[in-house]
Amino acid sequence: QVQLVESGGGLVQAGGSLRLSCVVSGRTFSSCAMGWFRQAPGKEREFVAAISRSGGSTSYADFVKGRFTISRDNAKNTVYLQLSSLKPEDTAVYYCAAKGVGYLNYAVYENQYHYDYWGQGTQVTASS
């Protein structure tokens, strides 16, 4: 059984920082492309960032470029999302997602429907 467990969310003032973590179990982490998505109240879930299985390729939504950084540690089965310069509009539940990929697959995936597994989410609130 594949499990994704996010942590690191919380309440910060606008301009602050947080680091989200997502630990994957039940599947070989290094064979997964990973992504972060978020959903604010009353809005649809949207893409935030993605990283390839090796970590060599990344992709970001336009609204987070330069503020958020996705990374991974395959030895720890963990993907991270560093959030900096947070804005009130970044307030949302943040989800990590995993997609099993082949050995020579270096792609990143921005479409949530590509992902096979999801975590339960962690709340991020940036107050003004």
pLDDT in tens, 56-73: 999 999 998 799 999 999
Cβ-based neighbours of 76, under 8 Å, separated by 6 or more: 23
The percent helix, strand, coil of the chain (3-state, each to 5) is 5, 50, 45
pLDDT in tens, 41-100: 999 999 999 999 999 999 999 998 799 999 999 999 999 999 999 999 999 999 999 999
The whole-angstrom separation of Cα 79 and Cα 92 is 19
Res. 121: pLDDT tops 80: yes
Name which of 69, 76, 73, 37 is nearest 55 in CA terms.
73
